[in-house]
């Protein structure tokens, strides 16, 4: 599985109403390539606004920086904030409210193939 596909598959596992950082997503994939995770999110062909809540949807809007701030989103930060609010996540000044409480963590790393 290529890097981007691995990241997208992990991202699909972030539950609605939770967020994950680029760093945690990279660590779950067994890498420290945090910026590469951001690039994978940027190339996501199956975001919520493209395919809805179907099984192929990659919820890249749920990925934030390590301080809980919203970063790059193809449809703009206002759209990212709106999507997160629709999922029950508080946003204030482009930052996740109660960030530590809503941050999702995987319990195990994705095995390399």
Quote the strand ranges of 1-113, DSSP E. Answer: 20-21, 63-64, 91-92, 95-96
Confidence category of residue 95, pLDDT binned at 50, 70, 90: very high
Any idea where the domains of the chain sit in the sequence? 3-98
| Burial class of residue 113 (count of CB atoms within 10 Å of its CB; 0-12, 13-18, 19+) | exposed
**Can you tell me the distance from the alpha carbon of 37 to that of 8, in angstroms, rounded to the nearest whole number?**
9
Q: pLDDT by residue (tens digit) across 43-94?
A: 998 887 777 777 888 999 999 999 999 998 888 999 999 999 999 999 999 9
Q: What is the CATH number of domain 3-98?
A: 1.10.10.10
Q: pTM of this prediction?
A: 0.89
Determine phi and psi for 99, rounding to 5 degrees: -50, -50
Catalytic residue chosen out of the listed positions 29, 60, 81, 89: 60
pLDDT above 90 for 17: yes
Whether 60 is catalytic is yes
**Rounded distance, CA 105 to CA 75, Å?**
26
């Amino acid at each position: 599985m290529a890097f981007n596909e691995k990241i997208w598959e992990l991202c699909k596992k972030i539950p609605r109403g939770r967020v994950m950082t680029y760093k945690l997503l990279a660590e779950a994939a067994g890498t420290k390539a945090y910026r590469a995770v951001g690039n994978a999110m940027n190339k996501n062909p199956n975001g919520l606004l493209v395919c809805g809540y179907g099984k192929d949807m990659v919820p890249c809007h749920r990925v934030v920086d390590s301080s809980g701030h919203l970063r790059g989103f193809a449809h703009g930060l206002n759209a990212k904030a709106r999507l997160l609010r629709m999922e029950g996540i508080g946003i204030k000044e482009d930052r996740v409210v109660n960030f530590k409480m809503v941050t999702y963590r995987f319990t195990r790393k994705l095995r390399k193939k």
